Amino acid sequence: MNTRLLEILADSFPKILIPGLTVTIPLTAISFSLAMVIAVAMALVQFARVPVLTQLCRFYIWVFRGTPLLVQLFTVFFGMPKMGIRIDPFPAAVIVFSLNEGAYCAETVRAALESVPAGQLEAGYCAGMTWMQTMRRIILPQAMRTAFPPLSNSLIAMVKDTSLAANITVVEMFRAAEQINARVYEPLALYIEVGLIYLMFSTVLTWLQRAGERKLGAYENQEV
Amino acid sequence: MLEIQNVTKSFGALEVLRGVDLTVEKGDVAAIIGPSGSGKTTLLRCMNFLERAGSGTMIFDGERVDLARVSGKEAARLRRKTAFVFQSYNLFRNKTALQNVTEGLTVARKIPREQAAETARRALRKVGMLDRADHYPHQLSGGQQQRVAIARAIAPDPEIIYFDEPTSALDPELTGEVLAVMRQLAEEGMTMLVVTHEMGFARNVSSKVVFMEDGRIVESGTARELFEHPRQQRTRAFLQTVPGVAE
ipTM of the complex: 0.93
Domain around A168: 3-223
**Phi and psi torsions of B199, nearest 5°:** -65, -30
Q: Mean pLDDT over all residues of chain B?
A: 94
How remote is the C-alpha of A176 from its chain's centroid? 21
Number of domain units in chain A: 1
pLDDT at A222 over 50: no
Q: How many CB pairs under 8 A join A and B?
A: 84
**Is B49–A133 a contact, with Cβ atoms under 8 angstroms apart?**
no
Q: Give the pLDDT confidence score for residue B246 in this predicted structure.
A: 53
**Is A126–B76 a contact, with Cβ atoms under 8 angstroms apart?**
no
Convert A4-48 into a string of H (helix), E (strand) and C (coil): HHHHHHHHHHHHHHHHHHHHHHHHHHHHHHHHHHHHHHHHHHHHC
Is the CB of residue B3 less than 8 Å from the CB of residue B23? yes
Residue B238's contacts (CB-CB under 8 Å, 6 or more residues apart) are B33, B34, B35, B211, B213
Amino acid code (one letter) for B207 = S
Q: Give the pLDDT confidence score for residue A192 in this predicted structure.
A: 96
Distance from CA of B215 to the nearest CA of A (A): 23
CA distance A103 to A164: 18
Nearest CB to A122 within list B50, B76, B107 = B50
Beta strands in A110-178 (DSSP E): none
- CATH of residue A184's domain is 1.10.3720.10
Give, to the nearest 10 degrees, the angle between helix B142-154 and helix B172-187: 20
pLDDT at A218 over 90: no
**Is A126–B83 a contact, with Cβ atoms under 8 angstroms apart?**
yes
Residues B19-69: pLDDT tens digits? 999 999 999 999 999 999 999 999 999 999 999 999 999 999 889 999 999
More confident residue, A222 or B150: B150
CA distance B216 to B9: 11
Residue A131's contacts (CB-CB under 8 Å, 6 or more residues apart) are A48, A121, A125, B72
**Is B90–A137 a contact, with Cβ atoms under 8 angstroms apart?**
no
Nearest CB to B104 within list A129, A141, A220 = A129
Q: Is A216 on the interface with B (CB under 8 A)?
A: no
Confidence of residue B245 (pLDDT cuts 50, 70, 90): low
Nearest C-alpha in B relative to A120: B90
**Measuring CA to CA, how many Å separate B7 from each of A31, B44, B51?**
52, 11, 12
Q: Give the pLDDT confidence score for residue A76 in this predicted structure.
A: 97
**Is B138–A219 a contact, with Cβ atoms under 8 angstroms apart?**
yes
- Please report residues of B whose CB lies closer than 8 A to that of A139: none
Q: Give the pLDDT confidence score for residue B247 in this predicted structure.
A: 46
pTM greater than the 0.90 cutoff? no
Q: Mean pLDDT over all residues of chain A?
A: 94
Nearest C-alpha in B relative to A223: B138
Overall average pLDDT of the B204-216 stretch: 95
**Is A127–B94 a contact, with Cβ atoms under 8 angstroms apart?**
no
Nearest C-alpha in A relative to B155: A127
CA distance B208 to B206: 5
pLDDT at A224 over 80: no
Residues paired with B55 in a beta bridge: B8
